[in-house]
Amino acid sequence: MIKRLSIRDTNTQFDNRSLVLFAVLTLGITGATWAQSTAVPVNNDSVLVALFSQADNDADKALNAEEAKAIPALAERFSEVDGDGDGRVSEAEFMASMAPAKK
pLDDT in tens, 34-78: 665 554 455 578 888 899 999 999 999 999 999 999 999 899 999
Burial class (CB in 10 A: 0-12, 13-18, 19+), 68: buried
Q: What percentage of the chain has pLDDT greater than the value 90?
A: 37
Q: Which CATH superfamily is domain 44-98 in?
A: EF-hand (1.10.238.10)
Domain boundaries, the chain: 1-40, 44-98
**Cα–Cα distance, 65 to 88 (Å, whole number):** 7
- Segment among 6-20, 55-69, 86-100 with least mean pLDDT: 6-20
Distant-in-sequence, close-in-space partners of 39: CB < 8 Å, separation ≥ 6: none
Residue 75's nearest CA partner among 84, 65, 85 is 65
pLDDT confidence of residue 57: 93
Angle (nearest 5°) at CA 75 between 70 and 80: 145
pLDDT confidence of residue 19: 80
